[in-house]
Amino acid sequence: LVLAVVVASAEAQAESKIAFERGGDIYVMNADGSNQTRLTNQPYNSRAQWSPDATKIAFDSTRNGNYEIYVMDADGSNETRLTNQPDGNYYPAWSPDGNKIAFRSFRDGNYEIYVMDADGSNQTNLTNNSSFDQSPAWSPDGSKIAFRSFTDGSWEIYVMDADGSNQTNLT
């Protein structure tokens, strides 16, 4: 069970919602557990992430044979595939302003951190090294991205500027 919790802004929704994965589908429910609604009905969907304004949910799915990043409206409508690579794309993470999505991709033969515009355009490799990098997380102001890396021979926490520069091992 994977959870993504959002306390929606007044403009987006009047109440708190929780997105979660169960049995390979994405669901939403009220924060008190009521009104559980399945949003997807395709092969395995996971890692639901609310957009900052709570109007969209990004997630990864194997519905086309390999993991790709998708986005849909908060009610499950308007599903859109954002990535299209023969190798996996996982772990979408919205930037605080909702304009970008960071994610992990295997398209270069190892796991790298990529970023793209929220519509899937401008997919850019940020880490570009021979190590495994994964689990991107934005800083609250959107200027930095933290991630896990195996660069130094063990899993460490790194941080970099949002453009991929100034990668620094924190641990």
State the DSSP string of 32-89: TS-S-EE---SS-EEEEEE-TTSSEEEEEE-TTSS-EEEEEETTS-S-EE----SS-E
Question: Residues in the chain with pLDDT < 50?
Answer: 1-14
Helix (H, G, I), strand (E, B) or coil at 30: strand
Contact present, 49 and 39 (Cβ < 8 Å): no
* pLDDT attached to residue 11: 39
The two tokens of residue 78 are: 């308007």
Integer Cα distance of 21 and 44 in angstroms: 9
- The whole-number pLDDT of residue 2 equals 43
pTM reported for the whole predicted model: 0.88
- pLDDT at residue 109, as a whole number: 87
